[in-house]
Amino acid sequence: MEMTRRDLFALAAGLAAVGLINVPADASTDELQAAIEKFAGGTPKTGGVEITAPEIAENGNTVPIEVDAPGAASILVLAAGNPRPGVATFHFSKMSAESRGATRIRLAKTQEVVAVAKMADGSTTMARREIKVTIGGCGG
C-alpha cells in the first residue's frame, strides 16, 4: 500500500501518543499543570483572583506583581514560561485586611503569570495574565 503524507502524519501522531517518538513538548506546560494540580487538587475555575502587573516589563529580573483574591486563604503564583513554574505562595489569616500580596519576580521571557487562589473550603479559582518582557531575567 502506498503511504500518503496524510498516512505518515497520522502514523507519527499515533506513535507520539504512545510515547515512541519525541514530539517536542513544552516541558514547562506539564510542570505548570502539575504545580496547579498539586495546590488545587483539581482544575480551578477561572475568575476570583486578580493579577496586577505591568503589560511590558522592561527588566525581567524584577517585575512587580500583586495578586488579590477576596476571601482566599492562600494564593499560588506561577510563571508559565520560566525554567521552573513556581514563584511564590502567599498565606493569609483572619488578621489579613485583604487576601492580597505583592512582590517582585523574575521572568525569563514574555509569558503568562498564573495565580491560583484557594478558599478556606478548599475550592480554587485561577487567573492568567501575559507579561511582555524585553530583557529576560533568570540570571543566565
Partner 1 sequence: MSKIKPRVKVPRKAKAGEAVTIKTLISHSMESGQRKDKKTGDLIPRKIINKFVAFYNGETVFSADLEPAVAANPYIQFSVKLSEPGTMRFEWTDDDGSTYDVEKKIKVA
In the complex, which residues of this chain contact partner 1 (CB under 8 A)?
A: 61-64, 66, 79, 82-84, 86-93, 95-98, 100-107, 137-140
With H, G, I as helix, E, B as strand and everything else as coil, classify residue 35: helix
**Among 46, 33, 118, residue whose Cα is nearest residue 80:** 33
Residue closer to partner 1 (CB basis): 61 or 110? 61
The cell numbers describing 66, all together, are 500583586
Give the nearest distance from C-beta 41 to partner 1 in angstroms: 17
| DSSP annotation of 3 | P
Measured CA distances, 69 to 39, 96, 104, 130 (Å): 15, 12, 18, 18
The pair phi, psi for residue 60, each rounded to 5°, is: -65, -10
The cell numbers describing 14, all together, are 499515533
Residue closer to partner 1 (CB basis): 4 or 93? 93
Residue closer to partner 1 (CB basis): 7 or 30? 30
Give the nearest distance from C-beta 92 to partner 1 in angstroms: 6
Residue closer to partner 1 (CB basis): 44 or 90? 90
Give the nearest distance from C-beta 7 to partner 1 in angstroms: 43
Give the nearest distance from C-beta 52 to partner 1 in angstroms: 12
Residue closer to partner 1 (CB basis): 16 or 135? 135
Give the nearest distance from C-beta 135 to partner 1 in angstroms: 13
**Among 100, 111, 120, 121, residue whose Cα is nearest residue 50:** 100
